[in-house]
Amino acid sequence: MNFYSTNNKNLSASFSEAVIKGIADDGGLFMPSFIPMLSESFFNAIDTLTFQEIAFLIAQKFIEDEIPKNDLHKIIEESISFNAPLVRLSGNISILELFHGPTLAFKDFGARFMAKTLSFLIRNENNHVTILVATSGDTGSAVANGFYKVEGINVVLLYPGNKVSEIQEMQLTTLGENITALKVDGTFDDCQRLVKEAFVDRDVISNKKLSSANSINIARLIPQSFYYFKAFAEVKNENRDLIFSVPSGNLGNLTAGLIAKQMGLPVYKFIAASNANDVFPKFLETSCFEPKPSIKTFSNAMDVGNPSNFARIIALYNGDYSKIKNNIYGASFSDTETVSAIKEMYSKYHYTIDPHGAVGYLAIKNYMSLADNKNISGIVLETAHPSKFPDVVYQAINTEIEMPARLLSAMKKEKKSIPISKDYSEFKQFLLQN
C-alpha cells in the first residue's frame, strides 16, 4: 500500500518510507491511498480472537508484505503486551482503560508499536535516525520509554515549560541515554511548529535523518485503531448502537477511530470531547476551522489550538463537511465541569477517573441527553491513569490516589532538561550541533 501527502495526493511513499520520514517532503501528513475493508468473517469471529490477533490482522492490511508475517507477529507481541480492559459503569456507559502500559497512558500503544517497527525498518542502515517529538505530556514519556536504548535511534522531546504535570515532566526528563528533553518556553503548538519547521529545513535534513513519533507518524496512528476493535469485540452481542467518546487534542486518537469505522467497524457515532481548547467542536458547529493559541487546562494533553490530524480527517472524508458532521459530535467543557465530573463518577460509580477521561464522560452524557436514539452502548476512552494528575483528582474527591510503582520510581530520579525559546533558530542550532 502507498501513502499520500495530505498536501498533495500525487506525492506518495511506501509504508517504510512514510514511517522513516514521519512527515511528507511538502510538510503534509501521510494517509493510506485507500482504507482497506475487513471481511464479514473477521467481525463474526472477532470475539474469539486475542487482542494481539486482532492487532496483527489490522496492521497487516496497511503494511502488507513490507514486514514479513513472522516479524510483524513479533512486533505486535512485544509492543501490544498489555490489556485494554472495558469497565462497565452502568447499563449503557463503559470505560475503556487505555492506561495499562509502561507509562500509564494510551500513547504506549502507538509509541511502542512505532519503536519496534522503526527499529526493524532501519536495522540494516548505518546512519542514526533522530526522532523529533512535540508533547503536551503523555506522548513524550510513552515515546521515550518505547525508544529507550533502541540502537541507532536518538529521541529529542520538546515539551512546553510549566504546562505539563510534575509527574509527566519527571517521566519525560529522567531517562537519559538516547533521550534528550527540551523545555520550550511556549505552548504545545509552539513545540509542534518547531518540529514541523525542522522537517522542511534543508539545512537540517541534509545533515540529519529525521523522523517523528507524534501521531503525525502513520506508525503511531495505525495501532491506535487496535483498541477500538477490541472494545467492539466485548460489546458486539449487546445489539446496541456503538458510540465512542474520545478525549480530543491533536485528534490522532479520533482519526484512528474514524479509520477503524471506514474499515468496517460498526460505530454509530464518535464524540470529540474537548476542554476549553475547542477548535474542533467549533468547526463541527460552524464549518470554519480557526486555529488559535492553546489555553492551559487540567486536561493538558488536550491543550492544542491547531490540531495536526485535522488534515487527516478532512482527507478521510474528501473535505465533505456534512459527512464529517454526520459521523462526529463535538462538545467542550471547562475545568470546573471536569472537576465536578471526577467527583460525580467517584461518588456515583466508585470509579476514579483522570481529567481527560472526565471530559469524555461529560461529552457522552451530554450527547445521550440530546439524542433521540436511546439504544446506545457508550464507551469513554480513559487515556491516562488518574495518579498522573494527583492535585486535580484530590481536589475533586478529597482522597489520595495510590501511585503505581512505575511512577514512584520516576519521581526518585534526577530531572535533566535543556531550556530553549520558541524561536526556531535556536532549535535549529541545537539540532545541527548535537
Characterise 432 by phi-psi region: left (phi > 0), alpha (psi -120 to 50), beta (else).
Answer: alpha
What are the grid coordinates assigned to 200, written together?
522542511
Burial 339-374 (b: 16+ CB within 10 A, else e): bebbbbbbeebebbbbbbbbbbbbbbbbbbeebeee
Distance CA 374, CA 353 (A): 25
Residue 2 contacts residue 33 (beta carbons within 8 Å): yes
Residue 26 contacts residue 8 (beta carbons within 8 Å): yes
- pLDDT averaged per 10 residues in sequence order, the chain, 434 residues: 95 94 90 96 96 97 96 96 95 95 91 90 81 81 84 90 81 87 92 91 90 84 97 93 96 97 98 97 97 92 92 97 97 98 97 97 95 88 94 93 83 88 96 91
| Alpha carbon separation from 284 to 240, 276, 287 (Å, rounded) | 25, 15, 6
What pLDDT is attached to residue 211?
82
Residue 51 contacts residue 27 (beta carbons within 8 Å): no
Known catalytic residue: 323? no
Distance CA 355, CA 382 (A): 9
What pLDDT is attached to residue 393?
94
Distance CA 413, CA 401 (A): 21
What pLDDT is attached to residue 141?
80
DSSP state letter for 383:
-
Residues near 432 by Cβ (< 8 Å), separated by ≥ 6? Answer: 203, 204, 207, 208
What pLDDT is attached to residue 383?
96
Distance CA 174, CA 181 (A): 9
Taking each helix axis as running N to C, give the angle between helix 166-173 and helix 138-147, from 0 to 180 degrees, rounded to the nearest 10. 20
Q: Which of 21, 69, 107, 413 is catalytic?
A: 107
Q: What angle do CA 214, 290, 131 make, to 5 degrees?
A: 15
- Amino acid symbol at 219: A
Bridge partners, residue 419, by sequence: 183
DSSP state letter for 302:
G
Q: Which domains does the chain have, with CATH numbers?
A: 83-102+221-402 (3.40.50.1100)
Bridge partners, residue 86, by sequence: 96
Closest CA to 103 of 163, 172, 34: 172
H or E stretch covering 130? strand 129-134
DSSP state letter for 401:
P
State whether residue 398 is helix, strand or coil. Answer: coil
What are the grid coordinates assigned to 394, written together?
484530590
Distance CA 38, CA 58 (A): 8
Please tell me the pTM assigned to this model.
0.89
DSSP state letter for 117:
H
